[in-house]
Structure 1
């Protein structure tokens, strides 16, 4: 079945085909079509026409709300099939994939609820003869570019608010994990999204992503992914001065004070970083621990990390799956090698597993490094894998300084039963999300995004909808009269007489 969806039709691409591989054993899950520049041109043209002359832009908010709700119902219906596909595509455990589908469903429900409650506002001008309104209108054609680690979830954070606001779009998922993005577009089609409103093109960044971000008829780019690619998109979009919202990952501190229970600290230090084999933009890859509990906590994390069950994501007993690709595993291995060369101490992990069931896949074990320094590459750069580094502090001020000593600012956490201390530290951290005595949870109603080089703009929450809206001011003078601003107005009055 064709994999591209352009102007309401499923079609093959001009860029040939590509195999999507299962990270567990490198087997082919599916062969998909690849777009070329001509396909991108057709998709943008379809989205442009659907926005400029089609019915979607003028549909009522209640109609858009009803459509989003239908999509959420279809997600519930197909949950198991979607979750299984997500696991085959990304390698993550089926348990995680099911949670992802539930979260995606919640996002569509949230924006279904918000879509018809966002009518703008009346502005008080202090004048009886003026009606002043700020109304919300769609931005236009949106290019939605998503990463490989949470392909369906990250796409929902873009598609749901974009549809709620009345935009049209061209979706470009990661070429590594496109399958559930295609499934979501099929559900949009089944739910009744008009032709041209939602389009999807598959392929690599240079042949598909770049033409999208540079296109004159694209009004907005929303991108989630790596820093270098995000910077390139911002530069490319500058020529057409289009709106750009980017989320570019993080190097996230997980700060543990010594008054935290050891069992709790070890459990959440691992949960923060080893879910989805560390392939999470908000992963707590930097454990920043009070010096007095360092040795005990490191020993307990090392003991537990060696017991984590790696395996096929479809196996219900697996706790973590493989990395997404051979290339990404090589990148993780390089990070560990460079850290050891620079003087870090390997506590556990650090080598490919030897189990016979893990040899065909791209597995890498939970890895713990101590003795790290701030100038090490493994500390400065986003590793995006199952690597936990440990740093120490003695004072609250030092903990905050370490937490903020990064060019990123996406997320972080602070652990202590002392609520005053917890809120002081949370308030001082320059990160878009800060958890206190927790890690990873989010809700669709709360904004998500980063500070510093973690990006700009926000997804989710009311602000996530506003990213896809233009805010227009309409000033209505209900009783106009001549202004008499210029001197010629006086001559007009003299010539007209009394």
Structure 2
């Protein structure tokens, strides 16, 4: 683990071993952190915050440290990508692209660090003047998922640091490698000891103590909606600030006038990216009935051509499923769909790994679990619509509101759907394209708050107001 500026076992002897889901061999191990480890990390973060070594540092100096960290990640990009591919099972080409995204996030946050500002209110009368300032919220605990270990961390940590906060990070116990590598990079970049701490361990043993800790001022959690509810309940004990990015059941809406070839390619990418283990992946195809049959055939053909295999091969497009229990869960949804499988539906790839064919399903009832619950795999169900209103109803027929995709050549249809569909992130005639400038998050049961962009920094600040008397105050008692 990385606590108070140095690597340590955190006082625990037990270790967590990770096997590559693509190869079935051991690739890493870390200490199984517990409440003692969390307490040490939180104490270090609190001391660092109170010292002002980071929180009161000039924004230009904070930005310089973050830029240097970004440059060091870029210089070691291949190593970061290899570790990420081995631990998660994702294709090496995808891992390399994600590491490039990590570099962009750190560079952006370094620049945005210098934009934090307050406001003045010169409209309160002759004798009263108002000011607001933003100050760092304090110690932030961040719990990071296994599907995108470093890029999700980098959608949060540089913005936490830009705000002037200190942090305790609990990465997923199976994919902690790149978080620890990042800690080493930050130390080399000049980040003061205790500003960022990494505690490895399971959710119950390390995540829950972090959530419950009374000296943690804010929790940022990325993961399932079910666990998100527990985070909210735990945060209520000492009224922590909370940021949540949770599950999704994301619609991919195709109107009759869409560029069908382009939309089909985008749908294939969206449902198969990271083997569908992506919270913003499309899982419900909502397509106009006049083009439903040809579009479904087109998409099914594309899915059959996707290359599944060794994650370290540059030709591989879909890698392994994260772990056997999750693979069995995905296959359970497929096998119990009570519908027609028009593509995929079976295990695939090398025998030693855990791979699933991209699966397209038609005729599933809307009340079926495969249509209601987050499958989190390369699986998509098809649903037809006749009118714009019906398309929106189908898109919104879910408890989630994380992302949505809209395909149409008609600008009016696109903009109407953008307004009417309940989702925090929407793509129009593209999919999964964004930048560190744009905020991300969900609505409904997909979460609260926003990460990245200027809003992502503001999320980790407190607003403090001052009202200043410029003249003689009118006396209450004369």
2:177 paired residue among 162, 176, 179: 179
Structure 2: distance between partners of 1:39 and 1:265: 48
Q: How many Å apart are 1:294 and its aligned residue?
A: 1.5
- Residue-by-residue CA offset, 1:335-360 (whole Å, 9 max, x unaligned): 11221xxx21111211212x5xx111
Q: Which structure 2 residues correspond to residues 309-348 of structure 1 after superposition, within 5 A?
A: 309-339=307-337, 343-348=338-343
Structure 1: distance between partners of 2:454 and 2:300: 41
Structure 2: distance between partners of 1:5 and 1:275: 31
2:424 pairs with 1:432: yes
Structure 2: distance between partners of 1:450 and 1:39: 32
Structure 2: distance between partners of 1:466 and 1:476: 24
3-state secondary structure, aligned to 2:404: strand
Partner residue, 1:17:
15
Distance 1:15 1:128, change over 3 A: farther
Q: Which structure 2 residues correspond to residues 172-251 of structure 1 after superposition, within 5 A?
A: 172-251=170-249
Q: How many Å apart are 1:477 and its aligned residue?
A: 2.5
Q: How many Å apart are 1:419 and its aligned residue?
A: 1.2
2:27 pairs with 1:29: yes
The structure having more radius of gyration, on CA atoms, is 1
Q: Which structure 2 residues correspond to residues 452-463 of structure 1 after superposition, within 5 A?
A: 452-463=444-455
Structure 2: distance between partners of 1:216 and 1:33: 24
Judge conservation of contact 2:42–2:216 (CA < 8 Å) in 1. Answer: yes
Partner residue, 1:72:
70
Judge conservation of contact 1:400–1:428 (CA < 8 Å) in 2. Answer: yes
Partner residue, 1:377:
369
Q: How many Å apart are 1:202 and its aligned residue?
A: 0.5
3-state secondary structure, aligned to 2:353: coil
Q: How many Å apart are 1:428 and its aligned residue?
A: 0.7
Please, which moves more after superposition, 418-427 or 276-285?
418-427
Judge conservation of contact 1:457–1:467 (CA < 8 Å) in 2. Answer: yes
Partner residue, 2:140:
142
Partner residue, 2:475:
484
Structure 1: distance between partners of 2:138 and 2:68: 23
Structure 2: distance between partners of 1:261 and 1:482: 67
TM-score (norm 1): 0.94
Q: Which structure 2 residues correspond to residues 55-204 of structure 1 after superposition, within 5 A?
A: 55-204=53-202
Structure 1: distance between partners of 2:134 and 2:19: 43
Structure 1: distance between partners of 2:263 and 2:106: 34
Q: How many Å apart are 1:191 and its aligned residue?
A: 0.7
Judge conservation of contact 1:103–1:153 (CA < 8 Å) in 2. Answer: yes
Q: Which structure 2 residues correspond to residues 378-417 of structure 1 after superposition, within 5 A?
A: 378-417=370-409
3-state secondary structure, aligned to 1:254: strand
Q: How many Å apart are 1:478 and its aligned residue?
A: 3.9
- Residue-by-residue CA offset, 1:38-96 (whole Å, 9 max, x unaligned): 01111111111111234222111111111111111111111111111111111111221
Structure 2: distance between partners of 1:84 and 1:309: 19
2:7 pairs with 1:7: no
Judge conservation of contact 2:124–2:130 (CA < 8 Å) in 1. Answer: no
Structure 2: distance between partners of 1:463 and 1:112: 14
3-state secondary structure, aligned to 1:193: coil
Structure 2: distance between partners of 1:57 and 1:428: 41
Judge conservation of contact 1:413–1:426 (CA < 8 Å) in 2. Answer: no
Structure 1: distance between partners of 2:13 and 2:168: 17
Please, which moves more after superposition, 396-405 or 261-270?
261-270
Q: How many Å apart are 1:127 and its aligned residue?
A: 3.7
Structure 2: distance between partners of 1:261 and 1:219: 48
- Residue-by-residue CA offset, 1:393-426 (whole Å, 9 max, x unaligned): 0111100110011100011011111111111112
Structure 2: distance between partners of 1:263 and 1:456: 35
Q: How many Å apart are 1:282 and its aligned residue?
A: 0.4
- Residue-by-residue CA offset, 1:92-134 (whole Å, 9 max, x unaligned): 1122111111111111111111111212122223445444221
RMSD in angstroms over aligned alpha carbons?
1.3
Judge conservation of contact 1:364–1:386 (CA < 8 Å) in 2. Answer: yes
Please, which moves more after superposition, 46-55 or 409-418?
46-55
TM-score (norm 2): 0.97
Q: Aligned residues, how many?
A: 477
Distance 1:483 1:126, change over 3 A: closer
3-state secondary structure, aligned to 1:450: coil
Which consecutive unaligned segments of at least 5 residues does structure 2 have? none
Which consecutive unaligned segments of at least 5 residues does structure 1 have? 490-498
Structure 2: distance between partners of 1:164 and 1:291: 49
2:367 pairs with 1:349: no
Q: Which structure 2 residues correspond to residues 283-298 of structure 1 after superposition, within 5 A?
A: 283-298=281-296
- Residue-by-residue CA offset, 1:131-160 (whole Å, 9 max, x unaligned): 422111000000011111111000011111
